[in-house]
Amino acid sequence: MLILTVGGRAKVNNMHRDRGARTPKAAELESKKAAFLAELRTANGVVSTALERSGLNRRTAYDHFRKDRAFAEDWLEVVAVVGDEVLVELRRRALGYEIGPDGTKRHCRSSDRLLIYLMQLRLKQNKWRGRIMDVARGSLEVVDKEGAKLGLSNKQIRRIREALIERYGSVPLD
């Protein structure tokens, strides 16, 4: 809040809201985002179920996914954890064991089909990881070559490279 003096009288100007203050609408949105993340976890990563349970609008959720880095990272973390849990369960079923209440493993019916599927999935993951790494390497090379052609300074090229690496992760260059 800003108080201005106009002709000897004080005038309150609310146009400049304190940046730390949150409106009730913003607080409600943050609450819904937190609820969405919790529901996403309990819904085993099913976004539509989590949105419905949390009351968060789909468009709003995806807008904040694009704009709010912390929210996007939390969302991706939940999806990764759920994905890991699914893979652990698939592996357990493929290899044919159950874990008893006392924590001991007990052999049960295994699934050869499921084991083959997991092996194919692992091969696909490695193939995609390789493609992503190739694209990232190519992007960094393009920044170096084209940056010099455009007359960018070494400092500017370094900043662009650092931004790419920060955004997409470290890429080992052969």
How many domains are there within the chain?
Answer: 2
Give domain status of residue 138, yes or no: yes
In a domain, 13, yes or no: no
Residue-level pLDDT at 131: 58
Residues 61 and 119 in one domain: yes
Same domain, 58 and 107: yes
Structural domain that includes position 153 = 131-174
Evaluate whether residue 16 is within a structural domain.
no
Query: Are 78 and 103 part of one and the same domain?
Result: yes
Where b means 16+ CB within 10 Å and e means fewer, 25-64 reads eeeebeebbeebbebbbebebebeebbebbebeeeebeeb
Would you say residue 20 lies in a domain?
Answer: no
Please give the model's pTM, rounded to 2 decimal places: 0.53
Stated length of the chain? 174
> Is the same domain home to 108 and 30?
yes
**What is the C-alpha separation between 57 and 41, in angstroms, rounded?**
17
Question: In the prediction, which pLDDT does 157 show?
Answer: 80
pLDDT means per 10 residues, the chain with 174 residues, are 44 47 84 94 91 94 90 90 83 80 82 75 63 61 75 81 69 48
Cα separations in angstroms, 139 against 14, 93, 160, 173: 47, 41, 10, 11
